[in-house]
Amino acid sequence: MTNHKKLIIILLGPPGAGKGTQAKLIEDRYNIPHISTGDILRDAILKNSALGKKANFYMQKGDLVPDNIIFDLIENRVDQPECKNGVLFDGFPRNVRQAKMLQNMDYIKDCENFFAILINIPDEEVIKRLSNRRYCPKCKSIYNLIHKIPKRKVNGVYLCDYCGTELIIRDDDKVETVKNRLKVYYDSAEPMIDFFRNLSVLHIIEDTVLQEDVFHEITKIIEEELIYEPSDRHKLSFASSERQKWS
């Protein structure tokens, strides 16, 4: 693939930063597929492909899937025609080693529209957001005691609006687990963030930006710098045309 004008976005940020929400909005606005390592792994395992079998071997033991397998899966994925205009990565790369692999990938080489966007939120906010999450073990609905409050509460326990099941706090969202997830995140993310900073592709959404303004900030970052071919113009749906740069 020789399209150097494709749009590559990497979303970075701690758990609870709302990367999934932003990914959906970005995908819709720029018409690029959202590639998450979790989805790719599930898909490969479901299809029982050679790589899926290898990945499953580690996952069943509760181990992290080795970087080289993740990398091969990502390479296969970006080779598909729907990725020709670019992709949005979420959950990949997860460390410097993967970031270096990504940098050397043929798909990325010479790409001029490469953005690593870090959504920064303070630890207290991560803990507040995640520890206020409630989960329905039956229908899998997710609630939040701050902005998506379940309607019913019986004997101090919230019930699912849809199926009436008692809501639970997932182990992942318990305060102690969240603190540990944050530590794991910082250990691998900080060197990776420096790596992208040194490549001059890092953009930071500061933690002072309100949650509802994050997407607006992301579009500003992208559209101020985006370079693309005139013939590709119709493929991308921008609100502002005056900011476009031509190479």
* Residue 181 known to be catalytic: yes
Distances in Å between the Cα of 193 and the Cα atoms of 75, 160, 204 are 22, 39, 10
| Residue closer to Zn ion (CB basis): 164 or 230 | 164
Q: Which of 2, 192, 5 is nearest to 103 (CA)?
A: 192
Q: Based on the shown chain and the rule CB under 5 A, indicate whether residue 160 belongs to the binding site for Zn ion.
A: yes
Catalytic residue among 6, 54, 77, 94: 94
Residue window 79-118: x/- pattern of binding to Zn ion, with contact defined by CB under 5 A: ----------------------------------------
| Residue closer to Zn ion (CB basis): 38 or 164 | 164
Instruction: Supply 228's token pair.
Output: 């693309």
Q: Based on the shown chain and the rule CB under 5 A, indicate whether residue 136 belongs to the binding site for Zn ion.
A: yes
CA dist 50 and 122 (Å) reads 41
Q: How far is the CB of 168 from Zn ion (least distance, A)?
A: 11
* Residue 97 known to be catalytic: no
115: which strand partners?
A: 9
| Residue closer to Zn ion (CB basis): 5 or 133 | 133
Q: Which residue has the tokens 């939040």?
A: 144
Q: How far is the CB of 182 from Zn ion (least distance, A)?
A: 28
Q: Strands 86-90 and 34-36: what pairing?
A: parallel
Q: Which of 246, 244, 237 is nearest to 26 (CA)?
A: 237
CA dist 62 and 230 (Å) reads 48
Question: In the 8-state DSSP scheme, what is residue 62?
Answer: T
* Residue 134 known to be catalytic: no
Q: Based on the shown chain and the rule CB under 5 A, indicate whether residue 139 belongs to the binding site for Zn ion.
A: yes
Catalytic residue among 24, 84, 128, 181: 181
Q: How far is the CB of 167 from Zn ion (least distance, A)?
A: 8
- Please check whether residue 120 is in contact with residue 205, taking contact to mean a CB–CB distance below 8 angstroms: yes
* Residue 170 known to be catalytic: yes
Q: Based on the shown chain and the rule CB under 5 A, indicate whether residue 148 belongs to the binding site for Zn ion.
A: no
Catalytic residue among 109, 138, 153, 170: 170
- Please check whether residue 8 is in contact with residue 86, taking contact to mean a CB–CB distance below 8 angstroms: yes
| Residue closer to Zn ion (CB basis): 99 or 136 | 136
Q: Based on the shown chain and the rule CB under 5 A, indicate whether residue 163 belongs to the binding site for Zn ion.
A: yes
CA dist 245 and 247 (Å) reads 7
| Residue closer to Zn ion (CB basis): 173 or 217 | 173
**Which of 165, 177, 211, 219 is in the footprint of Zn ion by CB under 5 A?**
165
* Residue 42 known to be catalytic: no
Q: Which of 222, 245, 215, 200 is nearest to 23 (CA)?
A: 215
Residues lying near Zn ion in the complex (CB under 5 A) are found at: 136, 138-139, 141, 160, 162-163, 165
Catalytically annotated residues: 19, 94, 133, 170, 181
